[in-house]
Amino acid sequence: MNRKTFFTIAAVLLAGAAFLITKSYAADFPKGSPQFATNYAAALKAGQDTGKPVVLIFSAVWCPPCQANKHNVYPSDAVKPFHDKFVWAYLDADDQSNAPAMQKYGVTGIPHIQFLDKAGKPLGSVVGGTMPEEFAKTLGATLKKAGA
């Protein structure tokens, strides 16, 4: 096999793997995760309808800190007490339909976690990876800010 053929086959295999990873992304939340919406507008409406603050998580499948948060932080025992106190949305940073929300909240790096009150008013944000206990403290402080 010549070098050009090898690289062509490798490129096709990598593209196929990326497609499969992207397609399974929305459905592969770990057991014990909060109930995630995957639509920005639906999350805002749910916040208004339920009176709960909103957690918008801008993430991507190729982002190691995003995946670490997804698998180790959101379903953790430290964060579980907050699952029902918020509306949670997991928004793919590579999905162009999320670009307006990313621009609105100044998302320049991921993971970017934006906290909103029930009316959609920003309460703060966290950028980068985090630990379960640290994130739980942030959620508690956010609830106080939201008056919940």
What is the model's pLDDT at position 19?
42
Chain centroid to CA 27? 13
Is the separation of the CB atoms in 145 and 116 below 8 Å?
no
Look at residue 28 in the predicted model and tell me its pLDDT. 82
* Active-site pick, 37, 44, 55, 63: 63
In this predicted structure, which of 15-19, 92-96, 114-118, 122-126 has the lowest mean pLDDT? 15-19
d(CA 27, CA 61): 12
Is 63 catalytic? The answer is yes
For residue 39, give the DSSP letter. -
Among 17-21, 24-28, 108-112, the range with the most confident prediction by mean pLDDT is 108-112
Name the residue with higher pLDDT: 7 or 110. 110
What are the two backbone dihedrals, phi and then psi, of residue 131, each rounded to the nearest 5 degrees? -110, 155
The one catalytic residue among 37, 56, 57, 66: 66
What is the spatial order of strands in the sheet that 112-116 belongs to?
A: 36-37, 87-92, 54-59, 112-116, 122-127
Residue 17 above 50 pLDDT?
no
Q: What is the per-residue pLDDT across 27-81, written as a single tens digit (0 to 9) for each?
A: 588 999 999 999 999 999 999 999 999 999 999 999 999 999 999 999 999 999 9
Stated pTM of the model: 0.81
Average pLDDT of the residues of the chain: 87
CA angle 109, 113, 119 (to 5 degrees): 130
- 66 given a catalytic annotation: yes
User: Structural domains in the chain?
Assistant: 26-146 (3.40.30.10)
pLDDT score, position 3: 64
